[in-house]
Structure formats: C-alpha cells, structure tokens
Amino acid sequence: YPDEEAGLYTGRVKTELADDFYYFCPAPIDDQLHNDLNRYAAAVFRVLGCRDVARVDFRLDRYDNDKPYVLEINPLPGLNPRISDLVIEAHAEGVSHAELINTILLHAAVRHKLLPIGMALEWPAVQLPASEIW
C-alpha cells in the first residue's frame, strides 16, 4: 500500500491502484469459519430487511482466534466487472458477471411478481434473456 493509505482499503486503492494488488479471494480461511461467516451474513441480511443482494463485510480479530465482527453491510454494492468487490467475490465462486446480474434481476422480478406464469423460480435453472426482463 502507498504510505498515505497505510494498509487501508480506500477508494483510491480500489480504483486507481486496482491492478497493483492481488485479492485473496476466496479468503484463506478454514471451512468452519467460512460456514460461520456465511451464516452470520445471511442473518444480518435478514435482520436488516435487505432485498435481492447485499455485501456484508467482516473483520477478524487475529488476537481472539479470528473472532468475526460485522464491519458494515452494503445493501447496494457496486457491480463494476473490474473493481467491485461483489463481482470479484462472485467470480471466485465461479459465478460470472452476467450470472450475478441475472440472479439479482431474477430475485427482483420474483419479488415484484413480474415473471411469466408457471416459470420455475429455482436458480440457476432459470436464466432470463434480457428481452424477458426489460
């Protein structure tokens, strides 16, 4: 990191210096912690009444057995295919940018009852063409 950022993940680091950094994604954590973080993120999502998509950020306390703390939740995360954390995380899980966008749109369409009658609601079986979404 540049001295002025002192190890902080700033907007400048994320955008201007993006090509100079490597993301450890997925994070090098054990399966138990991974499962716990997924469970906590889902709980935060539900408790705060989020819809369709959100990104929950955690900090791990390395002095307390990597105890997780919720840092923040972003209910409207960026979707820039080059620099947005949610897109980077989805890619690490094998989900393309197009699949991510379609999944978000599918959830919104289900919520607003915009899907054709009889259409299955299970993802990834349903992949809506843009002509059916718009």
The model's pLDDT over 4-51, given as tens digits with 9 standing for 90+, comes to 656 677 777 777 776 777 778 888 999 999 999 999 999 999 999 999
Determine if residue 128 is left, alpha or beta; phi over 0 gives left, psi from -120 to 50 gives alpha, anything else beta.
Answer: beta
Shared domain check, 86 and 61: yes
Residue pLDDT, tens place only, 75-98 = 999 999 988 999 999 999 899 999
Range of the domain at 47: 28-94
Assign 3-state DSSP to the chain and report helix, strand, coil percentages, each to 5. Answer: 40, 10, 50
Q: Where are the beta strands (DSSP E) in 75-127?
A: none
Matching residue, tokens 């094998």: 94
Tally of domains in the chain = 2
Q: List the CATH number of the domain containing 34.
A: 3.30.470.20
Shared domain check, 105 and 88: no
Shared domain check, 57 and 103: no
The secondary structure of residue 78, as a DSSP letter, is -
Shared domain check, 44 and 68: yes
Shared domain check, 120 and 82: no
**pLDDT in the model for residue 55:** 94
CA 9 to chain CA centroid, Å, is: 16
Shared domain check, 80 and 33: yes
Assigned domain for 14 exists: no
Least confident of 7-16, 61-70, 123-132: 123-132
